Amino acid sequence: MKRLLFLNLGPYFVPTEIPVSEYYQWLSKEFEGDVFAVVHRKEFRSFTLGNFKLTGVYLPRWVRGYSLLRDIIYAVFVCTRGPIRHFFRKKYDVVICKEPLVTGVLALLLGKLCSIRSIVEVNGNFESAFLANSQSASVVERLKSGYATTVIPRVLGHADGVKLVYPPQLNGLLIAIAQDRLFAFPNFVPISRFSPSDEDKRYVLF
């Protein structure tokens, strides 16, 4: 059975939410592994999700409110705990992250350190980061934009796989990625939880 490591920065991870728990239960049919995530409750520091074990980095609200501090603490945790689990417990086959800016960098780093494949998910539209107006943007906004425009192409370009929500998601960005490393499909939705309504009303779906 392939062993996966998921990196999920947050703002925080709630393993008891139905979409989350059912997602890992579904994956447990074919895979096993770990989830490293920031959590907001102490009881989530160790939690079982099917064949996956959540190891939560508990951070109080005031720490989570400072994204840079949160990111540094999480990065230190991942870069120490990940190799220890890989080399001294059971080796991972793939590391998967939910975004390219922070966990994407960590996934590539772990991939190099542990000689495992990395998959980066792109769940948002980062085109705005490439379109910052340097005349009206603040210094912080320009720094963030500069970081994004530097990091995103490199992370996506070096990842072994890039998962998109829809095929044209990267069309607005000048990023060259081999087509055999691009995969586009919708995110997991537990549709079994949806049932037909007893009322017949007209709705407008946006």
pLDDT at position 132 over 60: no
Give residue 133's pLDDT. Answer: 53
Give residue 139's pLDDT. Answer: 77
pLDDT tens digits for 72-131?
A: 999 999 999 999 999 999 999 999 999 999 999 999 999 999 999 999 999 877 766 555
Give the residue-averaged pLDDT of 8-30: 93
Q: β-pairing, 46-49 with 31-39?
A: unpaired
What's the predicted TM-score (pTM) here?
0.87
Query: Which residue(s) pair with 8 in the sheet?
Result: 37
Give residue 178's pLDDT. Answer: 83
pLDDT at position 40 over 90: yes
Q: Which two tokens stand for residue 111?
A: 């991939």
Give the residue-averaged pLDDT of 10-23: 92
pLDDT tens digits for 54-69?
A: 999 999 999 999 999 9
Across the chain, mean pLDDT equals: 88
Give residue 191's pLDDT. Answer: 74
Give residue 147's pLDDT. Answer: 83
Higher-confidence position of 141 and 60: 60
Q: Give the lowest-confidence range in 30-34, 46-50, 116-120, 168-172.
A: 168-172
User: Sheet holding 117-122: strands in order across?
Assistant: 46-49, 52-58, 31-39, 2-8, 94-97, 117-122, 161-164, 182-184
* pLDDT grade for 146, boundaries at 50, 70 and 90: confident
DSSP string, the chain: -EEEEEEE--S---TTSHHHHHHHHHHTTTEEEEEEEEESSGGGSEEEETTEEEEEEE--HHHHTSHHHHHHHHHHHHHHHHHHHHHHT---SEEEES-TTTHHHHHHHHHHHHT-EEEEEE-S--GGGGG--TTTS-HHHHHHHHHHHHHHHHHHHHSSEEEESSGGGGTTS-----GGGEEE-PPP--GGG----SS-------
